[in-house]
Amino acid sequence: MFQTLRNAWKITDLRKKILYTLFIVLIFRIGSAITLPFIDVQALQTALNSGEAGDFMQYLTLMSGGGFSNASIFALSITPYINASIIIQLLTVAIPPLEKMAQDGEAGRKKLGQITRYVTVALGLLLGVAYYFMVRNRYNALQHTELEVGWQILIAAVIVLCFTAGSALMMWLGEQINEKGIGNGISILLLAGILSRIPQGATYLFYNIFYQQGWQQLQTGDSGGVWAMIEVVIILVLFVAMIGFIVFITDAERRIPVNYAKRVVGRKMYGGQNTFIPIKVNMSGVMPIILAVSIISLPSIIATFAGKTSQEWPWLSIFQQTSWVYVVLYFILIIAFAFFYVTIQYNPVEMANNLRRNSGAIPGYRPGKPTSDYINRVLHKVTLIGAIFLGIIAVFPSLFGMATNIYGLSLGGTSIMIVVSVALETTQQIESQMMMRHYKGFLE
């Protein structure tokens, strides 16, 4: 990857795109440090770091690169846009006009993109209102609560509109990267937010665990310090192993062989080639994890906005990462959403019809229904493997926390997968652009 970046830097056009992307990322990080007025950031961070917020709040903090806990203008990050994209994608299957737009080529995709923007703004407004009530009712982190009702309404409007504008600006920044930069804009911003949390995670790992729980206890003669230091080494080894595992599964694919019959058109002969249909093991990416986190965190979100704690509602403990029920439900939801996402993305009947129209056939299977049935079986098998892989990556931090009582690494598997996936995707895009320019050093 570093060799690819070094070669790309030598090309003027690609160097400008890389610098433009870094400039947009810089704007995102500056915006994540600008906090809104009227909010007690210290009180909010204390509440979120206490573990009472639940996994969804930690997830939002992770996606925003700490902007959520800092009450910054980018607190909502690209979450509204991701949710809007998922909603529109699902509605294209259920609503015929939207399905027709999706099939109308570039013009239809532009219309769907415009609808997605409107839905993003609406979701940003909704989440902004929810954020305001959470800060006011749940965490008591709202300042100037002694003012009159008119001023309270004005403060609420400023906070909600700033959050909404921040989510819209994040969407615009991502689109600018798509047009003038390198890689997928939303993925790049997501990657930047996650990477910005590395110093905090490293501090927790080496200072809180290795030094305080390990070295200092070892100096006092407590043998438990040795186990704490060993835990840090185990975490680092598992971290490297998880990266390798994610890279392997991300690149893994099932290839369905396809033979094209020869046909003569005029004086030219077409077809007669042997190729394959690549089916990725991890076709759905991290979408099932995102959807599963959103669903399983609903009880905690409702309790947060209602101002209730696990002491007042004891059943909330079931939906915390220290519960086996939480782990099992999380794993099942990931597998279910993986199958659901692949179902709406791939149509075996349409794939079989496309093969028949192009005089292609899968060896050993007749065109039509036998071919579609075979593709459907392969999709189900590959999806199951990919879904189990996603489930293991997602629930591993919780299982590790149960075994070692270290829960500060929550959502670690998800964040690692996002980072690795985006890095691989961006590297592939850079390589493809270099190949289009016939870069000799790369081809060698």
Has residue 211 been placed in a domain?
no
Has residue 354 been placed in a domain?
no
In angstroms and rounded to an integer, the radius of gyration of the C-alpha atoms of the chain is 25
Has residue 56 been placed in a domain?
yes
Alpha carbons 29 and 18: distance in angstroms, whole number: 17
128's CB contacts (< 8 A; 6+ apart) are: 76, 159, 160, 161, 162, 163, 164, 167
408's CB contacts (< 8 A; 6+ apart) are: 201, 204, 205, 208
Whole-Å CA distances, 65 to 14, 43, 53, 69, 191: 27, 19, 17, 9, 9
Alpha carbons 105 and 315: distance in angstroms, whole number: 49
Alpha carbons 138 and 309: distance in angstroms, whole number: 9
Q: What is the CATH number of the domain that holds 86?
A: 1.10.3370.10
Domain count, the chain: 1
Q: What are phi and psi of 269, to 5 degrees?
A: -110, 130
Whole-Å CA distances, 64 to 189, 197, 200, 439: 9, 10, 14, 36
pLDDT value at 28 more than 80: yes
pLDDT value at 165 more than 90: yes
Mean pLDDT calculated for residue range 382-386 = 90
Has residue 339 been placed in a domain?
no
Q: Which structural domain, as residue segments, surrounds residue 127?
A: 11-196
Alpha carbons 389 and 285: distance in angstroms, whole number: 11
Residue with tokens 């002969």: 269
Confidence of residue 437 (pLDDT cuts 50, 70, 90): low
Average pLDDT over all residues of the chain? 81
Alpha carbons 260 and 275: distance in angstroms, whole number: 8
pLDDT on residue 442: 46
Bin 272: left if φ > 0, else alpha if -120 < ψ < 50, else beta: left
Determine what percent of the chain is predicted with pLDDT higher than 90.
11
pLDDT on residue 305: 65
Confidence of residue 443 (pLDDT cuts 50, 70, 90): very low
Each residue's pLDDT tens digit, 150-162: 888 898 899 999 9
Name which of 128, 134, 180 is nearest 159 in CA terms: 128
Amino acid making up residue 47: A
Has residue 401 been placed in a domain?
no
Confidence of residue 439 (pLDDT cuts 50, 70, 90): very low
Each residue's pLDDT tens digit, 221-252: 777 777 778 878 888 888 888 888 888 888 88
Has residue 361 been placed in a domain?
no
Each residue's pLDDT tens digit, 401-427: 777 666 555 556 677 888 888 888 888
pLDDT on residue 332: 92
Each residue's pLDDT tens digit, 285-312: 777 887 787 788 777 777 766 666 666 7
Q: Is the pTM of this model over 0.85?
A: no
Secondary structure in 3-state letters for 19-82: HHHHHHHHHHHHHHHCECCCECHHHHHHHHHCCCCCHHHHHHHHHCCCCCCCCECCCCCCHHHH
pLDDT on residue 184: 85
Residue with tokens 């870094």: 22
Has residue 276 been placed in a domain?
no
Has residue 138 been placed in a domain?
yes
Each residue's pLDDT tens digit, 84-140: 888 888 788 778 888 888 777 778 888 888 999 999 999 999 888 888 887 887 777
Confidence of residue 444 (pLDDT cuts 50, 70, 90): very low
* Burial tier of 289 (Cβ tally within 10 Å: 0-12, 13-18, 19+): buried
Residue with tokens 């509605």: 91
Residue with tokens 């529109």: 88
Name which of 57, 119, 48, 1 is nearest 293 in CA terms: 57
pLDDT value at 49 more than 70: no
Alpha carbons 258 and 363: distance in angstroms, whole number: 7
pLDDT value at 45 more than 80: no
